[in-house]
Every structure is written in C-alpha cells, then in structure tokens.
Structure 1
Amino acid sequence: MITVVVADDQTMVRQSFRAALDAQDDLRVLGEAADGAAAVELCARLRPDVVLMDVRMPVMDGLEATRHLLAGPDPASKVLMLTTFDIDEYVYGALRAGASGFLLKDAPLDDLVTAVRVIAAGNALFAPSVTQRLVREFTARGPALEAGTRVGGLTERETEVLRLVAKGLSNVEIAAELVIAEQTAKTHVSRVFAKLGVRDRAQAVIAAYEAGVVVPG
C-alpha cells in the first residue's frame, strides 16, 4: 500500500485528489494539509510514502516545506510538486531541494495516480511541457562549474548511464539499452548517484543538464 499526504490550500483540489487516489486499491491518503507548515507537521507524524505538494500555499510555501521535509540523509517521504507554467523557478528550486518530480495541476487525474506510483517506486517524473522550459533555462545559463566537476569524475560507462537516466529510462530499460544485467545497471546508477552527491533520479537529471551531459533534442 502506497501512503499519501495531499498538501494544497484549495479544499476542492484536495478532495478531488483524495477521491482519485483512495479509489485505487494500492493507494491510501493518510491526511490533508492546507499550508506548507501543516504539511511538514503532518508528514513528520504520519511519514507517508509520497507527498503531493502545491507550490503556492499560505504560512509556508511548497518550496520551503519541501526543504524541511527532505532535510537530512534519509527522508521518509518523496515529494511530487504540483505546479503551473508561471512558477518554473520555484519548481527548479524544489527539485534542487530533493523533490522527485512535478506535475501540472490541470493534468488528468489518471496522470496523477500514475505519478504517485512512479514516485513511490523511486523514479523521477517530469511534466514534459514544463521540462522544456527548464531545459531552456539550463541551456541559456551554460554548464554549471560545480556540476561539471562532479560529472567529470564519472567513468565513460557511468556517463552513458547518466545520459540514459536523464532521458527517463528505468534500470530495466537501461540494462536493455546497454545489454547488461539489471543488477549491473542498478549498480551503475547507484555509483553515479554517489559520485554526483545526489539522492535520486530527479537531482541526477538536473546535474546532467547543468553539466551539459545532455542537451535539448
């Protein structure tokens, strides 16, 4: 059973998300929060697998709440940010803080259900249209020195694995692409994360774009 907390300041949005998730046999909503501070307190108590986190909320916004939730080496929950087109900079900051991905708030509810399962499984999820905007930002700024230095410590095979991670491939798909065992692919991914100093696929994707390992197109 995948447990979820929904954090959004709009009651109707929370209720809609809760109904869609609770209708699934493998998902259960443990609670709701109307602001970021309440979300942090609720998640500390309930320790859900996934938190649906709106960006714009009173008292404490979703970005700050994400930083609080994911502080420390082994956070209990994964965060899926809910966003709209005009707040990409907040989403980028949330991903740097450790959020596992983001979804547009006007996406179909079926996409939300799928996203929760993807995030709970340890994968990253990015809304394609928003990703394009973030990619343009990375391209305009050029490679980041720190990210480039970290990526420079990867072997040729590890760099190849990072490119595939940045394309959204799972460990199984990476194994098939490189014609290696799934466990070997998993080991490569773990080593890439360790060398980059990241904790999940979302942060690895950001490091790959910042360092110029992958580019638009």
Structure 2
Amino acid sequence: MKIVIADDHAVVRSGFAMIINFQDDMEVVATAADGIEAYKMVSKHRPDILLMDLSMPPGESGLIATAKINEDFPETKILILTMYDDEEYLFHVLKNGARGYVLKNSPDEQLVSAIRMVHQGGIYIHPQIATSLVREFINKDQRVDESNPYQLLSTREIEILPLVAKGYGNKEIAEMLHISVKTVEAHKAKLMDKLNLKTRPELVEYALKKKLLDF
C-alpha cells in the first residue's frame, strides 16, 4: 500500500517512514510538512493511506487539510497522528473524514496495525480513549449543555484556539492559515463567546486543560 506522511517535524517523518518501509506490504511514497503540502502530495501520488499530524503551524493544520482531502480524494484513507488524547477533539477529527486516530507515543506495532486496519476499511481508535468514545456515542442524543461548550466550536475555531493561546497575533494567524485578518478576528470573537472567556490568560488555561498545546 502507498502511504504519505504529513508532519511538521522532519525527525518524526523519518522515524515513521523507517517503521513503515520496513513492512513488506507498505511503502512511503512522499512526505509533507504541513496541510497544504499534504494536499499536493495526495493529489500527486493518490496514496492508499495518509498519516496526518493535526498540529502543523505555520501552514495549514491537519484538521483543516483532513476535511479538504477527504472531500476531494475520498479514496485516500486518513489516519491521524497526534499527541492529543481528548475524546471531544477526536469527534471533530472523525467528523472531518479521518478513519482513525493514533497517539504518537504508541508502540511501532500499534501504528502498523492501525494502518492495516484502516486500509482494510475499518476505523482505528486508540485503546486509551476508546472507553471515552463509546461513552460519548451512547450519550450522543443528549443536548450539549453549558458545561461542555467545546462541542459547539467549529473546525476553524478549534484550529485558531491553540494559536491564540500560544500568543500568535491576528496577522500571524491569518498568514499561517491563509485567511484574512478580519476572518481571524471573527472566529476568535465567536470562540471566546462560546467558551465564555474574556481574556487570553483564561484562554491559555482552557487550552492547557483541553490538552490543545503540544509544546
């Protein structure tokens, strides 16, 4: 099977490529450093599997790129690589078209198994968060209350939230995401309102609690 790896760290890309190329039935045909490059590599190589990191600033994030690639190249199955272990973030990933979710600190054999499972048409969920995921699905018909406003955030708001928390200005975020400053300001205002936050320190504290800052 043909595989593309998208991650903003060259060492991570090389490490995963070594693991994958060691398998008799897998080959890494290209790598990418951000979401925009990932889209280009998928368009060029039409891989069976795309391993996609979620947090790849500067450039387009994996979350936004996942939605675009899933829409334009549905034959490529997307497996997310991330340090996030929050089940709510997982829901946004799956809603955007990903077929699985693997934590970067997983053993090599777990990554390989996840790739094979997704390639065969299955959906891979990391065992560490499977229980929480099942609980969320059981309660999926319940209305979102004020104690869980994160579920109300849009994909773009979720993408902007950690960038604001890390201290990037509106202009910097606009350049990273290839959108206008006014668009950033609008999304920022909406997410602050939805989360009932007033200041950046409050936003930083919230992002830390949600494990959205992978320093």
Q: TM-score range by the shorter chain?
A: 0.5 to 0.7
Structure 2 segments unaligned to the other structure (5+ residues): 144-215
Length-normalised TM-score, structure 1: 0.60
Per the alignment, residue 78 of structure 1 pairs with: 77
The 3-state SS of whatever aligns with 1:63 is helix
Deviates more, 1:110-119 or 1:48-57: 110-119
- Rounded Cα–Cα distance in structure 2 between residues aligned with 1:3 and 1:35: 19
* 24 and 123 in structure 1: CA distance in 2 versus 1, 3 angstrom threshold: same
Per the alignment, residue 68 of structure 1 pairs with: 68
Structure 1 segments unaligned to the other structure (5+ residues): 146-217
8 Å Cα contact 2:86-2:129 kept in structure 1:
no
Q: CA deviation at 1:131?
A: 2.3
* Matched ranges for 1:31-180 at <5 A: 31-58=30-57, 59-72=59-72, 75-139=74-138, 142-143=140-141
* 88 and 10 in structure 1: CA distance in 2 versus 1, 3 angstrom threshold: farther
8 Å Cα contact 1:55-1:90 kept in structure 2:
no
RMSD: 1.9
Per the alignment, residue 157 of structure 1 pairs with: none
- Rounded Cα–Cα distance in structure 2 between residues aligned with 1:89 and 1:62: 16
8 Å Cα contact 2:51-2:80 kept in structure 1:
yes
Per the alignment, residue 8 of structure 2 pairs with: 9
Count of residue correspondences:
142
- Rounded Cα–Cα distance in structure 1 between residues aligned with 2:18 and 2:81: 17
The 3-state SS of whatever aligns with 2:132 is helix
8 Å Cα contact 1:118-1:125 kept in structure 2:
yes
Length-normalised TM-score, structure 2: 0.61
Q: CA deviation at 1:136?
A: 3.8
- Rounded Cα–Cα distance in structure 1 between residues aligned with 2:135 and 2:109: 28
8 Å Cα contact 2:81-2:102 kept in structure 1:
yes
Identical residues among aligned pairs (%): 38
The 3-state SS of whatever aligns with 2:71 is coil
User: What amino acid sits opposite 2:66 in the alignment?
Assistant: T
- Rounded Cα–Cα distance in structure 2 between residues aligned with 1:88 and 1:9: 23
* 142 and 111 in structure 1: CA distance in 2 versus 1, 3 angstrom threshold: closer
- Rounded Cα–Cα distance in structure 1 between residues aligned with 2:25 and 2:54: 26
Q: CA deviation at 1:124?
A: 1.0
8 Å Cα contact 1:54-1:62 kept in structure 2:
yes
Deviant stretches of 4+, over 4 Å: none
- Rounded Cα–Cα distance in structure 2 between residues aligned with 1:101 and 1:41: 21
8 Å Cα contact 2:85-2:103 kept in structure 1:
no
Q: CA deviation at 1:87?
A: 4.5
* 67 and 142 in structure 1: CA distance in 2 versus 1, 3 angstrom threshold: closer
The 3-state SS of whatever aligns with 1:70 is helix
8 Å Cα contact 1:81-1:91 kept in structure 2:
no
